[in-house]
Structure 1
Amino acid sequence: MLTSNRKLLIGATLIGLGFTPSLIAQEVSNTIAEQAEESQKKASKKHNDVERIQVSGIKSALESGLRDKREANQVVDVIVAEDIGKFSDSNIAETLQRLPGVQIGRSQTGEGSEISIRGLGRSITTMNGRTMFTGIGRNINVKDIPSESLSGIKVYKSPQANQIEGGIAGTLDLQRVKTTNFNKSKGSINIQAQYADLSEKWAPKISGMVGDSFDTEYGEFGALLAFNHQTRNTRFDRQRTLSFGRELANPNNPDAKGSTGGGFVYGTEETKRNNIVARFDWDPNENSHYFLDMGYIDFSEDTRRNALNYRTSKIAKKKETIKIKEADYSNPNLDVTKVTYINPILQSLSQVETRDTKTYDIALGAEYFIEDVTLNLQASYVSSESDNTFKNIRLGDTAKKDEITLDYSNAKNSAPQVTTTLDFSDPSNFVINQFRDQITNTKSDEVGLRADLTYDINGDFFQSIETGLRYTSRDADRSGFDLNPKGVKVATSELADYFLLSDSDFYDGEAGLGSGFVIADMDAIVGNDAEVRDILGVKETSTAPANNLQFNITEKNLAGYVQANFESEIGNIPVSGNFGVRIVDTQRDSESLAIQGKNNEPTQVSTDETNTLPSLNVKFEVSDSVLVRAAASRVMSLPNFAALAPSVHLTSNNGNDLVIVGNPELKAFTSDNFDIGVEWYVNDSTALTGVFFYKEVDGFTIKSTNKEIHFGQEYDTQRTINGEKGKLKGFAASYQQFFDFLPGIWANFGVKANATYIDSEAPSPVDGLDLPLQDLSKTSYNLVGIYEDDKFSARLTWNWRDKYFDQLFRNKPVFNSGGGVLDASFNYKFSKKFKVKLSLKNINNKEVHSYYQDEYRPRDFAINDRRAVLGATYKF
């Protein structure tokens, strides 16, 4: 049954669509001569896509990107296919980091994994204008998308009413090619081998495509098939310090605290990506176009971690049995310079974590061009399922009189040096005290229908009016088991064949670990699961009680819009742009569990929310080479599904009861945005641009704890709520130039640079802590040096960002020190068809450094692989 909001939304949009039948009937009655005269304009309009097949070379690619940026009515940055292929990027996050205003986070292996635009991480990713996602996420996991599978990327920083809502940060539109743009058959094969220096392994990478368009008596047909396979083997070494909460007796600093523990972690990660794209286009005549667009992504990730951990303070709030033997407080910058503990807790931890994700998308569409009317119809379907497993075995030391010494003398620049009296290479010094097994499955499906109509007015001011409707229905499910039995205590001798020694070359030998430590052979344990469970007395994971992993949410969105596109003059200054409004109604039915021990009951909540999103984009052509842009808009992003689940979970920690609840009443994040910028296009390949931006965001989420009644009594209750408004303001500038006016070889050089500054005020995610926006660096910049001649091209890239608030670790804020990464790529063209490529990644071997607010309280020091990629491409 339609709500009043949806009736109003449909009615308003149908008014815009109401003239369609009569106009189409009128156009059909036109003479063949009139249709032929108009068809040339429609054909040109129909084929005016971002992807330009003829682009070749770095300079041409950058010129093409500038041209698209200049012609757009929005604030946008464009990367075309040729430019993507020249870099050594593993995925689209690493490609996008070189754009102004874009900052990325990295996974533990150093691969780009998260994108923020102008300080906000809530962007929306679309594929040819359609929504895409991974599992139950609002966006696609950027690690899953290989750069080579795309023909281009657009990053929209100011919206239009005709674009899909969902990104308060911006919109990333990933472009797949349109096959009827081919003027002849095309094909390519790209074979690469990647070497990583820490893992000391080679990995293959192969991609290819074939496409053609041809005329028949039934019209023009086009078809394309593209594939990509990529394997990546990496290693990471990390030294971690736990939060500083241990009481110390520093006579010079009553607030001094020691770390509660730490550890040495090394791990390996193997990822496999398989990506297939198929596209079919049919132009039966010059007035219509039909397409079928399909994609398949198969991503698997296997991560192994081994750790030697230590604790210098007990977890439970009982009498402290870990004593300080001696301490040195001589350095006034440090809580403690050097400290020795008696009877610390020493552990060995071995983990294996896997993720297998399969994502399908398919879209069927039709476009009709009849005189002054363009009608677009589209149906789409996206399905993504992800299976995640996590298994670990923990060993605890059996000795009672061990000692551990922590030396923080160089705490600002390195992890503490650790020495201990325990022989951690002897399995008999340990006992198995934990076996954990977790399985999580997420699945989401979305059906989308949309209709868009454009009426060309070509008047003195209004050029066209656009209107449309879009309906989506999405189901998001999460289920799982978390088996973490208490009281496991088995001698390692019971599983003697399942243990071995870790690698002894940890952190290039600079961490103080002189030899390997005992670890579990997780391959053998996973392969002999039944035997291991029997010896440990652990049940099947499926017998674990229900937990708050489980929910099912159905979300239905109905959006309608009207947009006017205009072009005129103010004085002698040409002015163009658009203004419009998009109205979005969101209905949601959510189910989860209320869990109290082994008892659980289903919970259900239904919500309805409507948002109105106006937008305005104006471009002033001050001269032949200078543009001024202004934009104002309201945008929105929906909360994550996990935060919306109506779960209720009673937990107990050291006798303190706490109820953790989800919040299906969370409102959408909204942001009021303002942009004003200047762009100077000196020539086709040279430009200097700058833009000021301001965002006022409403709906930032914070954690709040209050007294509430659950399960018949009052508990401290923690939930996520919409907090106060936040503000961001900043400036982004970019510069691009080729020095083709210089004599000789110097004419082959070029440079591309950009810099961004952002200041923010936002509510802290935790009460009582004054924290900036997560993942936001105040300053960041990119510098690219370019060389290109007829045969050889090279690019040297430096990407740098300032420190930033990274995450909360047990409610303690962790900051990343930032820094820069140096990459390079080299291409040599033997002929128009054959070229070779060498790419180098993380040349400067950047060390990752994070800390707990105070730089003298380290959290992580980590190193990742430096990678080299050697490959060849053949075009036919």
Structure 2
Amino acid sequence: MNNRNIFCCSASALAVMSMAAGAHAQSRAGETPQSNSISRSDDQTVSTLPGQEIVVTGIRESLARAAEIKRDSPQVVDSIVAEDIGKFPDPTTAGALQRVPGVQVAVGANNEITGVRVRGLDDITTTLDGREIFSATGRGFAFQDLPAAALARVDVIKTSTADLIEGGIASTINLQLNKPFNFNKPTIVATARGNYENNADKINPQASLLATDSWETGIGKIGVLVNASYAYFDYDRSITFDGLRRSLDTGPFNVPGAIAPLNFGAVNTYGQYDRPEVNGSIQWQATPELQVYVDGLFTGYESDHQTSFLATPFFVGGTTVSNIVTNPDQCFDTPVAPNGFYPTQDQFDNGQYTTQNLCKLESATFDNVPLNSSTQSFRDRNYNYLGAFGLKYDSDATHIDFDIAYQKSTGRHEAFIVDVGKRITVNLQTDVNGAGVAEQPGNPAGDPEGWAFWHGLAQTFNKSNGDMWQGRFDITRDLDDELGILQKFQFGARFSRRAALFQEAVVNTPAPGGDFATPVAGNAPDGFMVPVPGVPRVNDGADGYGPDPDYLRSDDGRDLIRALYGTQLGNPAYQPEREFDAKEKTYAVYTQLGYAFDIGGPVKADGLIGGRVVNTERSISGAGVVNGVAVPVDANRSDTKWLPNASLRVQFGGGLQARATYSRTMRRPNFGDLNPGLNYVVSTNPNVINSGSAGNPDLRPQVSDSYDATLEYYWNGGFAAVAGFYRTIEDRVVGDPQRETIDGQEYNINRPRNIGSVKLKGVEVSGQTFFNFLPGALSGLGVFGNFTYIDSKIGGDDPLAGYPLLGVSKYNFNSGLLYDHSGISGRLVYTYRSKYAEGNSTGTNTLRPDPVVLSYVRSGGRLDFSVGYDITKAIRVDVGGTNILHNKYKSYYAVPWLPIDYRDDGTTYTVGLRVKI
């Protein structure tokens, strides 16, 4: 879709909304956000006083409540409200977030929606009921770790105020769980769902149960709520890839004028995972003014999965090439080192390169190619625990909140990888509809005979432990009228103590006797080679053979392979050079004034002015490798930041209002980026460059100044809004691989760095409405849509200066049809994201037309739907589907005719039953 079509679609959607608005604008004339109501199909009303939680039912009320939150909030906010208890608009939290204006997502390896970005940035502070929450040793939270069935509401807060926890340069996303006092009678809600994923071709269960009740006792009202959910998923995601580019004018081919992939691979990531979750809350209204509460949460992720590679590296001795076809219209000039790769800086300095005009290799036949069948068996276990205690005091003019919480987050990852191989023939086409296609005559990959051990045994074992104590105190005082425009005064303080420990062992052991020296037959037990699923773009999807991943996950199987490779039995010990231990304390104090005044007639203004002072004290220890010996390294840092904010909202009457805001926010570096150590590993695969990573304890916090302006128009249950934003970020942190020579070996070492100033600007247009003026059942029709334009640019003298930020799509939109009437509700939603730069390969050895080479993901969109019917007031059934048009992920290097990955994102269909009593 071209840019013109994008703008036309967005403009058309808003034009429809504006016409609908004209029919309803009078119903909102003269209303103020302090006294709003949402119309319901049964002519009842639901109060939406600020801060009051409610239980809504239906798409119409859910969207109307979200519009009210957006209208009344002191920040620029977009919200998602559950359509009913345990019924979020999408199956996952991240899936629902992709509908929010300015939010972009990606698809993870296990086919879950993940990688949430807000206005192009992933520097998000996630809070759970206002408390900071994180995953393992990271700063952020993996949204897929909290099932959507547990949520009552999500707020995407795009501008900062002094009372918000610092850290969200992109946004603060607040996840809200159900609480017992939100219900006015005993309630039990049970849901059961079957999910069918087309790639895995299996139906999996998902279920949740919520129970809550409140009692009037001699010591006040007490409410209890328990909510539990469980989901199990099988998944299968196939990928083909073209490797780094290299000149064919080198051994073993010596064919001038062509640029070819280093290798071509078929990858299938498949397996299963489950997600248990339990949350609970106890509320006690001790007096009319004082409430005491205790909250708890547990989430888990458990997965046994595997990746099966059937890859063919071409630049290997003994391989020959024929039937070469190049494209003379797709060529570029590039420096080439003697080994056929892009030169190192030393080779540039010493003139050890030639400039070649290389054209795209369209197709060729490679004979006597090693076929690498690699099984990567994985086991992952991630758990989050959170407990909290707090008090809320509300009198006529004074509001006090006190909350103390403890969170622990753990992660365990095991990878055990064995490669086997044999020699074959490959007919390769490098670019068919954006990716390569290969034929291996006779499908030798599907023959269990003739395999030998190749490359080596790779073992990775790591664990991540993170925990945090946090406490905060907030007081709001409503001011007397005699103070004029000043309406309230806020003061608060917060303390947190964070710890993060990461430990890892990485051991690579060459194949026994060398490559192809040891056959599988006779050296591995019977059944060691098992069928592995094929990939559609290789041999038309025919299955291959590879080492048994379940055997490689077993203790006995691992030790048998270790003995064969001559390495130590048992799991390897954690290595000091791959460890970091971080301790961090933060202290924050803020003050904020709320003001309001009449401008004249119906026109009113209000806003906030405040500031937050944050001090961070941190120590982190690791180890660097010097002459092969791990040497301890410690780093300490303390910094203080002043974060001011100011906002103005003008209400013109009749549902029209405008905002202008300024805020300064900050983001602390990730603990892994601060690790002072250096670690690296020598690859046993000659077609994979040695790699490593190093932290940078001198990284400075990122600081952003943000300016936002909006124009918003609201009517009964609908709205249309335009928002403009401009943001500068100082000391932006990026990390990308750079080639370094250590002990005579070349490595790609990934080091993070501050790159100076980044500028980001954009426009968001959004709206929604139902056509209530239509007769009968047609009055249930509605539409919603949003469009976001984002432009980013890196400044300063960094090599990336002038390029956009990674992960930022310039154009994004959602458009959807809605229906809610007579017990039937549904939505059909299309979500589009334009191309974006995903990775920086400048430091690698791939050939390229320019010194800086970025990899890009092509434009793509997903169509989702859901339809539900209320059989009775207590029983509801629904069906749904995600990615029903089978969108594919496609990426490329620098220019579109150098493809990299083609990923088959799955399509999921669901059928659900929900009972509420």
TM range (shorter): 0.7 to 0.9
Match of residue 33 from structure 2: none
Match of residue 115 from structure 2: 114
Q: Secondary structure at the match of 1:492?
A: coil
Pairing of 1:27-38 with structure 2 (within 5 A): none
Unaligned runs of 5+ in 1: 1-43, 315-319
Match of 2:600 among 552, 562, 571: 571
The answer to whether the 8 Å contact 2:457/2:511 transfers is: no
Partners of 1:291 and 1:739 lie apart in 2 by: 42
CA apart distance, 1:190: 0.4
CA apart distance, 1:375: 2.2
Partners of 2:410 and 2:628 lie apart in 1 by: 28
Match of 1:554 among 575, 579, 583: 583
Match of residue 297 from structure 2: 295
Match of 1:430 among 447, 451, 475: 451
Q: Aligned AA for 2:266?
A: F
The answer to whether the 8 Å contact 1:567/1:577 transfers is: yes
Q: Aligned AA for 1:289?
A: Q
Partners of 1:240 and 1:159 lie apart in 2 by: 42
CA apart distance, 1:665: 1.7
Residue 447 in 1 paired to residue 449 in 2?
Answer: no
CA apart distance, 1:217: 2.0
Q: Secondary structure at the match of 2:672?
A: helix
Pairing of 1:126-137 with structure 2 (within 5 A): 126-137=127-138
Q: Secondary structure at the match of 2:509?
A: coil
Q: Aligned AA for 2:489?
A: I
Partners of 1:787 and 1:341 lie apart in 2 by: 56
Q: Aligned AA for 2:98?
A: Q
C-alpha RMSD over aligned residues: 2.9
Partners of 1:764 and 1:260 lie apart in 2 by: 34
Q: Secondary structure at the match of 1:68?
A: helix
The answer to whether the 8 Å contact 2:168/2:667 transfers is: yes
Pairing of 1:581-730 with structure 2 (within 5 A): 581-596=611-626, 598-649=628-679, 661-681=694-714, 683-703=715-735, 719-730=751-762
The answer to whether the 8 Å contact 2:399/2:475 transfers is: yes
CA apart distance, 1:763: 5.3
Residue 859 in 1 paired to residue 859 in 2?
Answer: no
Mean Cα deviation higher: 199-208 or 702-711: 702-711
CA apart distance, 1:502: 2.9
Match of residue 470 from structure 1: 494
Partners of 1:419 and 1:770 lie apart in 2 by: 43
The answer to whether the 8 Å contact 1:694/1:730 transfers is: yes
Match of residue 849 from structure 1: 890
Residue 340 in 1 paired to residue 365 in 2?
Answer: yes
Deviations 1:708-732 (A, max 9, x none): 9999xxx998742211201111000
Mark the CA change 1:852 to 1:709 in structure 2 (over 3 Å): closer, same or farther: closer
Mark the CA change 1:767 to 1:227 in structure 2 (over 3 Å): closer, same or farther: same
Residue 833 in 1 paired to residue 874 in 2?
Answer: yes
Mark the CA change 1:214 to 1:716 in structure 2 (over 3 Å): closer, same or farther: closer
Pairing of 1:320-339 with structure 2 (within 5 A): 322-330=319-327, 332-333=329-330, 335-339=360-364
Partners of 1:348 and 1:851 lie apart in 2 by: 24
Q: How many residues of Structure 1 are paired with residues of Structure 2 in the alignment?
A: 815
CA apart distance, 1:479: 0.6
Q: Secondary structure at the match of 1:497?
A: coil
Partners of 1:255 and 1:172 lie apart in 2 by: 52
Pairing of 1:813-828 with structure 2 (within 5 A): 813-828=854-869
Partners of 1:817 and 1:707 lie apart in 2 by: 28
The answer to whether the 8 Å contact 2:532/2:545 transfers is: no
Mean Cα deviation higher: 833-842 or 757-766: 757-766
Mark the CA change 1:121 to 1:339 in structure 2 (over 3 Å): closer, same or farther: same
Mark the CA change 1:378 to 1:793 in structure 2 (over 3 Å): closer, same or farther: same
CA apart distance, 1:656: 11
Partners of 1:874 and 1:473 lie apart in 2 by: 42
Match of residue 174 from structure 1: 175
Residue 416 in 1 paired to residue 416 in 2?
Answer: no
Match of 1:277 among 276, 279, 292: 279
The answer to whether the 8 Å contact 2:826/2:867 transfers is: yes
The answer to whether the 8 Å contact 2:268/2:533 transfers is: no
Q: Secondary structure at the match of 2:774?
A: coil
Deviations 1:641-663 (A, max 9, x none): 10011113466789999995311
Partners of 1:140 and 1:707 lie apart in 2 by: 31
Unaligned runs of 5+ in 2: 1-45, 331-358, 845-852
Q: Aligned AA for 2:468?
A: E
Mean Cα deviation higher: 320-329 or 239-248: 320-329
Pairing of 1:186-225 with structure 2 (within 5 A): 186-225=187-226
Q: Aligned AA for 2:437?
A: P
Q: Secondary structure at the match of 1:832?
A: coil
Deviations 1:280-301 (A, max 9, x none): 1111111211111111111112
Deviations 1:359-398 (A, max 9, x none): 111111112234532222111100001111111111132x
Deviations 1:569-600 (A, max 9, x none): 22342111111001111110111112246521
CA apart distance, 1:563: 0.6
Match of residue 141 from structure 1: 142
Residue 525 in 1 paired to residue 547 in 2?
Answer: no
Mark the CA change 1:661 to 1:505 in structure 2 (over 3 Å): closer, same or farther: closer
Match of 2:765 among 713, 730, 733: 733
Partners of 1:791 and 1:519 lie apart in 2 by: 52
Partners of 1:680 and 1:537 lie apart in 2 by: 71
Partners of 1:378 and 1:659 lie apart in 2 by: 42
Match of residue 508 from structure 2: 484
Partners of 2:450 and 2:118 lie apart in 1 by: 50
Mean Cα deviation higher: 568-577 or 725-734: 568-577
Mark the CA change 1:717 to 1:62 in structure 2 (over 3 Å): closer, same or farther: closer
Partners of 2:52 and 2:103 lie apart in 1 by: 21
Match of residue 259 from structure 2: 257
Mark the CA change 1:541 to 1:183 in structure 2 (over 3 Å): closer, same or farther: same
Mark the CA change 1:497 to 1:135 in structure 2 (over 3 Å): closer, same or farther: same
Partners of 1:840 and 1:650 lie apart in 2 by: 44
The answer to whether the 8 Å contact 1:729/1:758 transfers is: yes
TM, length-normalised to structure 1: 0.88
Q: Secondary structure at the match of 2:160?
A: coil
Mark the CA change 1:791 to 1:651 in structure 2 (over 3 Å): closer, same or farther: closer
Partners of 2:450 and 2:874 lie apart in 1 by: 63
Residue 185 in 1 paired to residue 186 in 2?
Answer: yes
TM, length-normalised to structure 2: 0.84
Deviations 1:166-224 (A, max 9, x none): 11001100012232232211120001111112211111101011112222221111110
Partners of 1:392 and 1:707 lie apart in 2 by: 25
Partners of 2:490 and 2:800 lie apart in 1 by: 48
Mark the CA change 1:749 to 1:704 in structure 2 (over 3 Å): closer, same or farther: closer
Partners of 1:45 and 1:837 lie apart in 2 by: 28
Q: Aligned AA for 1:862?
A: R
Mean Cα deviation higher: 321-330 or 623-632: 321-330
CA apart distance, 1:86: 5.4
The answer to whether the 8 Å contact 1:725/1:762 transfers is: yes
